[in-house]
Structures are given as structure tokens and as C-alpha cells.
Amino acid sequence: MVDFTLTDEQKDLREMAHNFAEKEMRKVAWEFDKDGTWPQEIIEKAWEVGLMNTHTPEEYGGPGLDYLSGCLIEEELGWGCSGIGTSLAANGLASAPVALGGSEEVKKEFLGMLTESPKLASFCLTEPDAGSDVSGMKTTATKKGDKWVINGSKCFITNGQYADWYTVYAKTDKEAGHRGISAFVVPRDDTIVIDKKEDKLGQRASNTATVTFNETEIPAANLLGEENKGFKLAMMTLDRTRPGVAAMAVGIARSAFEFACEYSKERQQFGVPIAMHQAVAFMIADMATKIEAGRLLTWQSGALLDNGLRNTLAASHAKRFAADSAMEVATDAVQVYGGYGFIKEYPVEKIMRDAKIMQLYEGTSQIQRLVIAKEVLMGRNVNEPIPEAIAKQDEAKAVEEVVPA
């Protein structure tokens, strides 16, 4: 029988994450949102209890958790506060390319840095003129002797202002489009400038900044994977991180749903709680279905990875559906609250603002549809294995087929 029965360890992890979200995040979430405050104390506590760097292998000081367990944790963090949760989870996005493409020495140095103390790393792919279309990237990396020299700006970088190192994607062949991009791990130094902290609609407790590299020199050994194969590495990374993003979207939706349920049973109109009116009851029912479906898609996308199977299609299904559902559920929660839902004094207003970014970062909902359509039309086998020896070859083929030159 196929099921998602959780192990005792996974149940304990989920309970620990929920308790942390409830006690350390939720109580302050709305204050942090109001002022856009940086949650340093919460980050240090989360690192201390093991809720950060969850997929970092044990040999580099991490817990080496499976991807399904990571999804359980990220749902609870999204339920607590997705802004703070994004700050806690961003190390996973930055460190995945290092784990996939770094040399043993690089992995020991940079992954070890995150597990030895509560330090942060950022993933630097997006640019002002290169969002969904990364082939328009203008940041360059030029080989000079035994060093690479990086120049360019990256925008919308999570934790950019506070990161100790960056995973940076840059053009090493300007004429080759996405096939001329390479990936690097870049320690922070005086040549790296934080130009702008964004004043965002939602997830305001998460730092989002523009990071500029000015003649930034790094050792040649800091190249991740092969030269001009950085786009492939980015896609392999996103297959591994999108399940967690989907899980966070499920957590946001669940939070909005719970507030809406509670309010609908308390608010009286026409002599009865509004939950007794079919129009509201059906909204609540639809919310519940979307959350259950989103969670199952999310768990599937993580479980495929844990079983050594390719999850590109499943991860895009999960990310697209969970993100869109989070926005729909949060918007309906505001509707259940009526006029009060539009006022900052009530919780669902913040949740609706937080939900919107889930449809945008780590691949917009439109990009997920593009991936899904290509995968479906190509008739890919969802149970296709990705043994380590052929993983890069298979992923490269997938990228060539899915992304136009």
C-alpha cells in the first residue's frame, strides 16, 4: 500500500517546528511585519534547535534530513510567519549548488561555515533585466590567472544584506545565452556592496536586497560544477528547493484557513454564525480541499527525491498549485472577515500580502506551467531514476528540452 505515513522521527520534527513557530515566530510576526524588522534573535534560536540547514549532510555538520522531513518543517515555519520562515530557509537555496557542484574542500569550508555558527548565505541569480529569462544575465565572471573576477548586480536577494557568502551565477560566455552561465561560491568582502533594501508588500521580516559585485576576486576552485554549466546547476537546485517553497505556501494557506474558520464561527450575521451560511461554509470547504491537495503534491515532490527519482514535474506541480492556492485561500479568508479583513488590526491582511510572493519567487506560476507543459508533452516518466552517476547528464538533457536557447 502506498501512503505518506510519517515516521516517529518525522512526527517529532513537525511538532518541534510547530512549537517553535507558535512560541517564537507567531507572537511577534505582526510586529516584525509592521516595521520590517530583522529577526536576528529568532534566527539564532532556530539555528540552535536545528531548524536551519536541514539538508546539509552530516559530514559537514548538518542533520542531513530527507526532503519530506524538510517539507514538514517548512510548512510549520510558513504557518508561523512566512517572512521569518523565508529568512530561516534561504540557506538551503544558497547551499544546494555548493552541495551539488562544489569540490570537497569548498563544501567543507562553506557548508561547514553555516553549521558551525548561525551564519547566512544567499542565492544570487535574478537581475533587474534577467528574471524568468536568465539568458539576459549581465553579471560576468572573467578568468584571470588562478582567479575569477566577478562584476555585476543581483536583485531581490533574500538575506543579501546579512549573508556571509553568496552563490553567484554569472556569464562566462557572453554569446551562449543560458549555456554560457557558470556558478560560483563567493565569500563576502569589501568589494561587495549592498545597494538597496527593498520595502516589500509582504514577507517584510525577510531581508531582500540588491547585491553588487565590483571586481570581486575569488579562487578558481570556487567554481561550482563545470564552466558554462551553471544554468543546469540552478535547475537541479530548484528541483530540490521547490518542494520546501510549496510546503511554506501550504503553511500560509493553513494559517489563513484556521483564522477564517475561527472567525466564521464567532461572527454573527442574520442571527447565526456566518459559518452556518452556505456561501461561507462552501468557501471554507474549498479552502480545506486546496490545502489537502497542496500538501499531498508537496509531499510527493519531496518523496520522489528521497527515493532517488526525478521530481522536476512533481516539484512544478506542487509549487504552482500550492502557491496559487495560498493566494486564493488567503484572499478568501479576507472575504470571510469582510471589511475587518481589510484592516491591519486583523491577521488575515498580513497573510494575504505574504501569500502573493509565493507565486513569484523560485519560478513564477507561469514558469511552472511552462515546465509542466513541456514535461507532459514530452511524455516524461515521473518514475525516472536519477542515479548519481547519470544525474548531471539527465538533468542537462531536461534543461535543454524545457528551456529555449
Based on the residue annotation, tell me whether 362 is a catalytic residue of this protein. yes
**Catalytic: which of 109, 362, 375, 395?**
362
Rounded CA-CA distance 150/141 in Å is 4
Rounded CA-CA distance 240/312 in Å is 9
Kindly write down the DSSP assignment for every residue of 330-341, as one continuous string: HHHHHHHHGGGG
C-alpha radius of gyration, the chain, whole number: 21
Using DSSP bridges, classify how beta strands 165-171 and 147-158 pair: parallel, antiparallel or unpaired: unpaired
C-alpha cell belonging to residue 62? 548538518
Rounded CA-CA distance 185/191 in Å is 15
Rounded CA-CA distance 72/16 in Å is 10
C-alpha cell belonging to residue 234? 540552478
Non-local CB neighbours of 198 within 8 Å, separated by 6+ positions: 156, 208, 209, 210
Rounded CA-CA distance 71/154 in Å is 28
Kindly write down the DSSP assignment for every residue of 66-112, as one continuous string: -HHHHHHHHHHHHHHHHHHHHHHHHHHHHHHHHHHH--HHHHHHHHH
Can you say how many angstroms the Cα of residue 13 is from the centroid of all Cα atoms in its chain? 19
**Catalytic residue set:** 362
